[in-house]
Amino acid sequence: MNRIKEVLAGSIAEEVEIECGDSLLTVNGHKIEDIIDYMFLLEEEDVVIEVQKKSGDIWEIEIEKDADEPLGVVFENAIIDEAKRCQNNCLFCFVDQLPTGMRESLYFKDDDSRLSFLQGNFVTLTNLDDAKLRRIIDYRISPINVSVHTTNPELRVRMLGNRFANKIMSQLKLLTENRIVVNAQIVLCPGYNDGEALQETLEDLQSLGEYLNSVAVVPIGLTKHRDHLPIMRGFDKEHALNVVKQVENYQTLMLKKRDSRFVFLADEFYIKAQTDFPAFEAYEGFLQYEDGVGMMRKLIDEVHLYLADQQTRSISRHVIIATGTVAGPFIKELAEAIMAHYPLLKVDVVPIVNHFFGEKITVSGLVTGQDILSQLVVKDEVDAILIPRNMLRSGERVLLDDITCDAIAAHYNKELIVVDEGGSDFVEAIINGGNHE
């Protein structure tokens, strides 16, 4: 599990003749159990490492380096150890709502604090005892993203389907008292943890002080594949508006008390409530951007800011953008602003209805290749097809249903451009091709 797959050029590892296929065994006599051990132990300036060569020989290597200087290796397994599997049975779990027949890895539910620290994943803490929590503190695994959902012990046990889920406040208190920064997430489920329950949760979380850094509230996602699962309902306009008002009122209180809004809503709430997004600065640096908080506001403002610095040019080009239905109207408005700046440019925006997961799933990140292929009509005069990067699995050019970007491009015989998230990237991809890899 600690086998090395890459040695970075110019690194210490290359200098001491570590090679691909070697395995790192110990650092200063301590066995390397996982990536956190590795990161923590390598902080020393003087280290002695044991490396097992591909031949089986054991090398002991003494290294003098700067405290923050990395060894320069990449492991075959990013965390060295196996990822910890989720032991919960959450009422709202999206993985449980996947159809059969997808790639096996998509059904794996991780709940691993190491992945929270390294990749920003959210964890529930239900599979951590006091010793493992203390390890987080000792190794300074901070920040950590925690799926809280509710601080009410009985309700959390019910929602997570785990009898060990009732200790969340004592766990968070231990972390924050030891200066571990926590960003919390609440998946809001109508009739369960909204309303008074949400208010109680926010009060409990803010009472933990400055190291409980922020809270993201996101709506439950419901696919059409919920056979044998509890009946759940999503948010309509009225309920979404109630959430927006409740959170805005709480933000006002927190601005006075903490000089921060503290809690932030996913974009979907504002869209469902048919109300404006908050101002750019109201997101306070977009602390929970990866949770869908502020994505549209950031993109809208960045596009207009970028266009304001560009000269009007005659760019004759025709592109088509595939996106989710929830973002469709906003992407169309941005496309119109861009076309107004470049009069010979033509941009068609096609919101893709999610038949694969069900029409209640509206975000672009869950659009599949087969829904694109069945709905997107591309005329001969189109120069390129654009899709957002969040449609792809991380680090791959593959959509959730295993259809590749190359397959879509070949089907239409058109260039397919994967658009990065920034406003300048969006404009450049439309007018020049941008990052089409």
Distance (Å, rounded) from C-alpha 21 to C-alpha 104?
27
Which band of pLDDT confidence, cut at 50, 70 and 90, is reported for residue 11? Answer: confident
Q: Does 268 share its domain with 327?
A: no
Q: Does 281 share its domain with 378?
A: no
Strand partners, 50: 26, 60
Residue whose C-alpha is closest to residue 213's, from 247, 185, 169, 183: 183
23: CATH: 2.30.42.10
Give the residue, 6 or 153, on which the prediction is more confident.
153
**Does a structural domain hold residue 80?**
no
Q: Does 104 share its domain with 231?
A: yes
User: Do 145 and 185 form a contact (C-beta atoms < 8 A)?
Assistant: yes
Distance (Å, rounded) from C-alpha 135 to C-alpha 153?
24
| Per-residue pLDDT tens over the stretch 20-47 | 988 888 888 888 888 877 888 888 888 8
Q: Phi/psi of residue 58, each to 5°?
A: -105, 120
Q: Does 126 share its domain with 267?
A: yes
User: Do 63 and 47 form a contact (C-beta atoms < 8 A)?
Assistant: yes
∠ Cα 236 238 241 (to 5°): 105
For residue 114, is pLDDT > 70? Answer: no
DSSP designation for 56: S
Structure tokens at 255: 């601005």
Structure tokens at 226: 């919920």
Structure tokens at 163: 């009898």
User: Do 286 and 238 form a contact (C-beta atoms < 8 A)?
Assistant: no
Helix (H/G/I), strand (E/B), else coil: 203: helix
Residue whose C-alpha is closest to residue 213's, from 298, 160, 165, 284: 284
Provide the domain limits for residue 384: 299-431
Q: Does 167 share its domain with 287?
A: yes
**Does a structural domain hold residue 182?**
yes
**Does a structural domain hold residue 37?**
yes
DSSP designation for 112: -
Give the residue, 240 or 17, on which the prediction is more confident.
240
**Does a structural domain hold residue 416?**
yes
**CA dist list (Å): 196 to 15, 179, 246:** 60, 29, 10
Query: What is the number of H-type helices and E-type strands within the chain?
Result: 14, 15
Final residue belonging to a domain, choices 269, 292, 315: 292
Q: Does 315 share its domain with 405?
A: yes
Q: Does 206 share its domain with 250?
A: yes
Q: Does 211 share its domain with 106?
A: yes
**Does a structural domain hold residue 84?**
no
226: CATH: 3.80.30
**Does a structural domain hold residue 82?**
no
User: Do 377 and 322 form a contact (C-beta atoms < 8 A)?
Assistant: no
Mean pLDDT of 238-264: 97
Helix (H/G/I), strand (E/B), else coil: 393: coil
Which band of pLDDT confidence, cut at 50, 70 and 90, is reported for residue 315? Answer: confident
For residue 155, is pLDDT > 90? Answer: yes
% pLDDT > 70, the chain: 95
Which pLDDT belongs to residue 392? 92
Q: Does 143 share its domain with 249?
A: yes
Residues near 81 by Cβ (< 8 Å), separated by ≥ 6?
1, 33, 34, 35, 114
User: Do 169 and 204 form a contact (C-beta atoms < 8 A)?
Assistant: yes
DSSP characters over 206-271: HTT-TTEEEEEEEE----S--TTS-------HHHHHHHHHHHHHHHHHHHHHHSS--EEE-HHHHH
Which band of pLDDT confidence, cut at 50, 70 and 90, is reported for residue 436? Answer: very low
For residue 112, is pLDDT > 70? Answer: no
DSSP characters over 326-383: TTHHHHHHHHHHHHHHSTTEEEEEEEEP-TTT-TT---GGG--HHHHHHH----TT--
327: CATH: 3.40.50
Distance (Å, rounded) from C-alpha 182 to C-alpha 143?
6
Final residue belonging to a domain, choices 75, 106, 130: 75
Which pLDDT belongs to residue 344? 92
**Does a structural domain hold residue 437?**
no
| Per-residue pLDDT tens over the stretch 34-90 | 887 788 888 888 888 888 988 888 998 988 888 778 888 888 877 776 767 788 888
Tokens 């999610």 correspond to: 354
Q: Does 347 share its domain with 259?
A: no
Lowest pLDDT segment from 95-99, 154-158, 280-284, 289-293: 95-99
**CA dist list (Å): 45 to 41, 70, 189, 204:** 10, 10, 49, 42
Which pLDDT belongs to residue 108? 65
Distance (Å, rounded) from C-alpha 14 to C-alpha 74?
12
Please count the structural domains in the chain. 3
Q: Does 194 share its domain with 262?
A: yes
| Per-residue pLDDT tens over the stretch 138-152 | 888 889 999 999 999
**Does a structural domain hold residue 81?**
no
Which pLDDT belongs to residue 135? 85
Q: Does 362 share its domain with 414?
A: yes
